[in-house]
Structure 1
Amino acid sequence: MQKIYSFLKYIIPFSVVLFFVQNYIINTVFEKSLFFYSTWSIYLFHFIITVLSYLFLLFVNKTFPDKTGFAFMGVSLIKMMAAVVFLIPLLQSDLKNQIPDVGAFFIPYFLYLLFETFFAISLINKH
């Protein structure tokens, strides 16, 4: 339970800071661009999927500690597929320039992946 609190202690401020930075950039630099997804929906997706995947990694680490690395790779694949499913409405939309939307999604995606990788490595190294 302490590992969950430790993870939440770091991911919540991480998410809040990233959200406000991205929201500021979108509202100042890209103020004339129309985005398909709102910033909060992107961050809600990333936050939920990252917390759920870390909870799964904790479960695997507790029951099968030697399989945590494989579980991380599997969860990463599932997260990638979930990202594609999340982006399907954007890709099927009539929006002329989808590149800012894709960037607004994948920049935090990779930052969350880096964050989760750091915590997954610390789980793997403890066993």
Structure 2
Amino acid sequence: MRQFYKFLTIIIPFSIVLFFIQYYIISSFFENITFFYSTWSIYLFHLIITLLSYSFLLFVNKTFADKTGFAFMGFSLIKMMASIVFLIPLIQSDLTSQIPDVSAFFIPYFLFLFFETLFAVRLINKQ
């Protein structure tokens, strides 16, 4: 449980800082583009899925310590599928250019994935 609190104390400020950076960039440089998803909905999705993923990894590490790496890969696949489901309304929309919306989603996706990977590697190497 202590590991989860440590993760929370780092992921929450990380998310807030990234949110405000992206919000500033979108409102300053892309003010004439209407985005399909708001910045807060993208970050809420990323934060929730990352917290679920790390909680699951801690559970697997506690019960089946030798399967933590496989659990990380499996949940990463689930995370990718959840991202596609999240983006289906955007894909089916009639927007002329979906590139800004996809970029606004996947840049934080990869930053959260990098952050989660660092903690997962620490968790696996503790054994």
The two structures have a TM-score, normalised by structure 2, of 1.00
State the distance in 2 between where 1:19 and 1:95 align.
24
Amino acid of the structure 2 residue aligned with 1:103: S
State the distance in 1 between where 2:54 and 2:30 align.
33
State the distance in 1 between where 2:125 and 2:71 align.
14
Q: Percent identity?
A: 75
- Structure 1 stretches lacking a partner, 5+ long: none
Matches within 5 A, 1:1-127: 1-127=1-127
3-state secondary structure, aligned to 1:43: helix
Aligned length: 127
Runs of 4+ deviating beyond 6 Å: none
Amino acid of the structure 1 residue aligned with 2:61: N
3-state secondary structure, aligned to 2:90: helix
The two structures have a TM-score, normalised by structure 1, of 1.00
3-state secondary structure, aligned to 2:35: coil
RMSD, aligned α-carbons: 0.3
State the distance in 2 between where 1:103 and 1:33 align.
13
* Alpha-carbon shift at residue 41 of structure 1 (Å): 0.1
